[in-house]
Amino acid sequence: MARSNTGTMNDIIYGVKDKFLVSFKMGNGMTAYSTKHFHNAENTIAENVMRLQFVIPSAKYDEAVIDQLIDEFEEQKNNGRKLHYHQRDAVKMVCNNNFSVLTGGPGTGKTTVLSAITYCLRALDQRIKIVFTAPTGKAARRITESTGEHSSTVHKKLGIGYNSDLSSVFYEDIMFIDESSMNDTELSSILMRSIPDGRKVVFVGDVDQLPSVGPGAVLRDLIASNTVPVTMLTHTFRQDNSSKLFANICNIRKGIPEFLDGEDFHSILLPPGKGQEKSATQKILAAYQKAIQKYGAEHVVVLVPYRKNGLCSNALNNQLQRIANSRSCGYRYHNQAENNTLFFKQSDFVMQLVNREECANGDVGQVVECSATGLKVKYVDATVTYAPADLDQLALAYSMTIHKSQGSEYPCVIMCFLEDHEAMLQRNLIYTGITRAKKECIVIYQQKALEKACKTIADANRFTLLKEKLQDLRAQYRMIYGI
C-alpha cells in the first residue's frame, strides 16, 4: 500500500490514470493507494466477512444450554478439568456467530477450546459437518494429532490450484482455519468467497507469530477492526513456575531482550561483533549431538533466519547430516540454482520446497529408498518418488529457516541468530522459533541481535486497508440489516 503523503506522487498519479492503482478515502481524511489486484482481494474479504455475519445470521443458543454442554465436556472428555471463563466465552462465541476469531499464545488452551466447540456443536446438532483446515500440511497434521479430528490444507479442501485462484464451494457447516496468521490476502479472499451464506468460519491463530509470507496481515486486521467476534485467550495452563521456556516466550512477546535459563531452556551468549559464524556453528553442532542422543534425530531441529549465505540452513544441513546419519551410501546431487551439493541417504529427513500434488511446500518426510534412479520419500499422507531431475525440489531438513518451521512442533529446538542476520531480526521471528519447542529450547545468540529483534515487529510496516474496509462495510450492513 502507498499513502498519499509518501512515495513519488507522479508515479501514483500515472498509476491511477493507467488503472493499475486505485484510491481509497480513509476515515481520517487521508487517501490511500493500492494495486487494483490487492484492492479487489481486500474488498472480497471484507464483503464476505460481513455477508456471513448479516445475510443469514447464526442461530442463537441459550448460554445456559451451552454452559451445561461444556460441563458435560469437562467431565466426559477433559478428565474433569474445568475450562477458564475465557475458554467458555470462546465456545459460546463460535456456537452463536457465523464468523469469529479465536486467538492466543502457546499454553492458553486453544486445542482444548476447539475440542469443546466440536463437542457442543455436535450435541446441538447431530447432523453438523465440521471441517478443520490449515494453510500448510504440517499445521494440518498438528490439528489431527492434538484433537483427533481429520484435517487438511485449505488448498486441498477447496480444490485450489497453486497457480490458480479458482476454488470449489464449501458445502459443510463449519470450517476452522488454524495457524491463520499464515494466511495472506490472496488466499483469504479465495477462501472467503467460497463460503456460502449460513455457514460458520473460525480463524484460529497466534497474532504474535510471523505474518504471512505473501502480502497482507489478515488476522491482525480482523482483530483490530472490532467488526467481528474475537476471543483472546490470555490465561496460561502451564502452571509449572519452573518452566523457563514459557517464561521466555512471554518475555519475547513483550519485547524484553533477555533469556532466563532453566531445565527446559538454555541460552548460549556469543561475544559481540560480526564474524561469529564459526564459533556459532561449533556450538550448534555440539548442542545437536547431545540433543539427538536425548530425543532422537526425528525430534530435534536447528532453526536459523537464513536459508542461504553465511550461517544458514543449507550450510548447516550437510554438517548435521554427518552427525545424525552415518550411512556411507547415497545419491550425490548438485543443486545448480543454489550452488549447493547434497548427499541424500536412506533415513535422511528432507523438506519439499515446491508445491506438488502429493505434498506441499514445507512438508517434511524421510527417505525410505535411495538408488541411482532417485529417491522415495515417505510423508505422513503419501510416499513420493523423485527422479534425479526432480531432486531440486528437496532439501535436507535437519535444519530449516524459522519461517519454514511455522505450523510444526519439535520436542527440542536449537535456534541461532546473530548480528549477521540483521536483515531478518524481528520479534515475531524469535517468538515463532521458540514456540516450536515442546520440551526444550537451546538458543545460541548475540545480545545486540536479540535487542534488535525485540525492537522490531514484523507486520508493523505492513500498510493495508482491510481494517478500514471492514469498518466501513460493517456500518453499511448495520444500516441495511439493523443488527
Could you report the per-residue pLDDT of 414-453, keeping only the tens digit for each?
A: 999 999 999 999 999 999 999 999 999 999 999 999 999 9
The answer to whether the CB of 459 falls within 8 A of the CB of 428 is yes
Name the strand (E) or helix (H) holding 197: none
Please give the sequence-ordered ranges of beta strands (E in DSSP) within 363-409, or none if there are none.
364-371, 374-378, 383-386, 394-396, 399-401
**DSSP codes joined into one string, 141-177:** HHHHHHH---EEEHHHHHT--TT--------SSEEEE
Beta bridge partners of 415: 303, 443
Predicted local distance difference test score (pLDDT) of residue 278: 95
Tell me which residue of 308, 320, 328 sits closest to 350, measured CA to CA: 320
Taking 50 as the pLDDT cut, the residues of the chain under it are: 2-7, 12, 14
Report pTM. Answer: 0.87
Number of H helices, E strands in the chain: 16, 21
Specify the residue for cell string 506441499.
360
Task: Express each pLDDT in 193-222 by its tens digit.
Answer: 999 999 999 999 999 998 888 889 999 999
Q: Packing angle between helix 85-95 and helix 110-124, nearest 10 degrees?
A: 40
3-state SS assignment for residue 309: coil
Task: Express each pLDDT in 305-350 by its tens digit.
Answer: 999 989 999 999 999 999 999 998 888 888 887 788 899 999 999 9
| Percent of the chain residues past pLDDT 70, beyond the cut | 93
